[in-house]
Chain A
Amino acid sequence: MVNEMIVSIASGKGGTGKTTIATSLVLSLTNVQLLDCDVEEPNAHIFLKPEIKETEKVFIPVPEIDEEKCNYCGKCAEICVYNAIAVISPKDGKKGKVLAFPSLCHGCGACKELCPQNAIEEVNREIGMVETGICGEIEFVHGKLNIGEAMSPPVIRQVKNFINSEKTVIIDAPPGTSCPVVTSLKDSDFSILVTEPTPFGLNDLILAVEVLRKLKIPFGVAINRADIGDNSVEEYCEKENIPILLKIPFSKDLATGYSRGITMVEILPEYRKHFLDLFIKINDLKKIG
Chain B
Amino acid sequence: MTATQTPAIRVAGLEKSFKDLHVLRGVDFDVARGSIFALLGSNGAGKTTVVRILSTLLKADAGTATVNGADVVGQAAAVRESISLTGQFAAVDEVLTGRENLILIAKLRHMKDPGAIADALLARFSLTDAAGRKTGTYSGGMRRRLDISMSLIGDPPVIFLDEPTTGLDPEARLEVWEAVRELARGGTTVLLTTQYLDEAEQLADRIAILHQGRIIANGTLAQLKKLLPPAKVEYVEKQPTLEEVFLAIIGSDATAPATAPAPTSRERS
**Chains A and B come from one and the same complex:** no
